[in-house]
Structure 1
Amino acid sequence: MIRYALRCDADHPFEAWFGSSGDYDDQAARGLVECPFCGSHGVAKQIMAPAVAGTRRSAPAMDMAKVQTMMMEAAREVRSHVEANFDYVGDTFAREARAIHEGSAEKREIYGEATPAEVKALKADGVPCAALPPAPVDPAKAH
């Protein structure tokens, strides 16, 4: 895993993890690296000092299964929080989010479904929105 300091063309700094430098290059070339603040795909790596391990002891290898389990648990917690505390608006998400943003609807936290085109239009208009992590697969039903 490699962590990059990134900055979008709107000057928003953020960090992201990739499996390798090649993974970053591939994802960036395909337009998959996106600023979490504004949705811009104009993202570039920033200069950063490498994290070099000392000579005394090498860092333990990352257990990728453990990392995946931790990430899935974090996604499950985010989704559970949203489902418990936000209003579900179904397929009217784009319309509701825009109305809240423009002040013509009551300000509240919502979640629902939107098409990729609707999400792109919301982001282009400055309406904050983000994808909700997918519902985790029940391990008992995975196979």
Structure 2
Amino acid sequence: MIVFDLQCTGGQHRFEGWFASSRDYAQQQERGLVTCPVCGSDDVVKAVMAPAVGRKGNQAPAMPTAAPAQSAAPGGAAAPKTAPAAPPPLPPEAVAMLRAVALAQAEAIKSSTWVGDSFAQDARAMHYGDKDVAPIHGQATPEEARDLLDEGIAIAPLLIPVAPPGEVN
């Protein structure tokens, strides 16, 4: 299962959606099955969300320095803690911009070939004429990317992360 933060573009309502996989979300989105539970709009997009990163297995949980005082509810029970406030929704302009960037990148990748870790070698071979020039995308270390740029080889980072083929939910 995968959880996405979703947002309708009309009313700017944010909500969670649970899907079997990223592909399942895309298929439901294409069929108009993903709708806002508040206003019913089917114009829904993925909202920007912070990753849930757990602590390492070899790290101990942080110990609180001082316990905050809790007010007692009637009957001597501790009052329930309040949930943290949800982040404010993104402005419509930001949502539109992120959507446009994601669509432009997706279109560019359709005509590009995934070369994985051999990106630097393939880009260099094309630049020096050892290989036919073709659009490619893959992975390079920061050092490899700097070396390519120093050699005058035009490269650009992808603005939105791309999962290698076969590694998508």
Q: TM-score, normalised by structure 2?
A: 0.41
- TM-score in terms of structure 1 length: 0.48
Of structures 1 and 2, the larger Rg is shown by 2
The structure that is helix-richer by fraction is 1
